[in-house]
């Protein structure tokens, strides 16, 4: 199974185990019903897929260099995702729990900061909005690397 997956169906977290892993930490990012005070009915994720897979793979490699973890798995949804559904799933296996907690948080921070995936929110009135583009602008943190 690929360690990094962009999926158009429901995310199905893998059932993996590693004999040396005494800890497994996972993070589930779910679509919430309210964002910035507006009622969200669903989201659409779009990706620059070739670069997104490369960046996610780079994040896995970087994380494995920074922290002594055994395995990392990332899945991210694309297309329309309903409220309550998983948008992203990250799992980290390590010998002890602390490295798994820290590495999992690091993966998510990097993913949100630099992976070319975009989120379009649909509100109750049918209006659509690209997060970070249509609302108050925020400075990007992506630089040449």
Residues lying near another protein in the complex (CB under 8 A)? 29, 45-48, 50-52, 54, 76, 87-88, 108, 111-120, 130-134, 137-140, 142-145
Give the nearer residue to another protein in terms of CB position, either 82 or 134.
Answer: 134
How far is the C-alpha of 114 from the C-alpha of 78, rounded, in Å?
Answer: 16
Question: In the numeric block, which tokens belong to residue 103?
Answer: 């590495």
Closest CA to 93 of 114, 76, 77, 74: 74
Give the nearer residue to another protein in terms of CB position, either 41 or 95.
Answer: 41
How far is the C-alpha of 45 from the C-alpha of 82, rounded, in Å?
Answer: 11
Give the nearer residue to another protein in terms of CB position, either 49 or 124.
Answer: 49
Give the nearer residue to another protein in terms of CB position, either 18 or 61.
Answer: 61
- Alpha carbons within 13 A on the beta-carbon side of 55: 23
Residue with tokens 């949804």: 77
Query: What's the min distance (Å) between Cβ of 83 and another protein?
Result: 16
Query: What's the min distance (Å) between Cβ of 114 and another protein?
Result: 7
Query: What's the min distance (Å) between Cβ of 97 and another protein?
Result: 22
Give the nearer residue to another protein in terms of CB position, either 28 or 68.
Answer: 28
- Beta strand 69-77 with 128-130 is unpaired
DSSP class of 40: E
Backbone CA torsion sign across 119, 112, 95, 70: positive
């Amino acid at each position: 199974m690929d360690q990094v997956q962009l999926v158009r169906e429901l995310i199905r977290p893998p059932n993996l185990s590693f004999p040396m892993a005494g800890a497994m930490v996972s993070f589930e990012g779910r679509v919430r019903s309210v964002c910035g005070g507006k009622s969200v009915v669903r989201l659409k994720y779009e990706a620059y897929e070739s670069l997104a897979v490369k960046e996610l793979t780079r994040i896995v490699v970087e994380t494995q260099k920074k922290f002594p973890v055994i395995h990392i798995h990332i899945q991210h949804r694309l297309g329309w995702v309903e409220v309550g559904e998983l948008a992203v799933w990250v799992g980290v296996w390590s010998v002890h729990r602390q490295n798994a907690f820290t590495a999992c948080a690091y993966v998510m921070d990097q993913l949100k900061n630099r992976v070319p995936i975009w989120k379009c929110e649909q509100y109750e009135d049918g209006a659509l909005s690209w997060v970070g583009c249509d609302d108050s602008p925020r400075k990007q943190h992506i630089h040449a690397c």
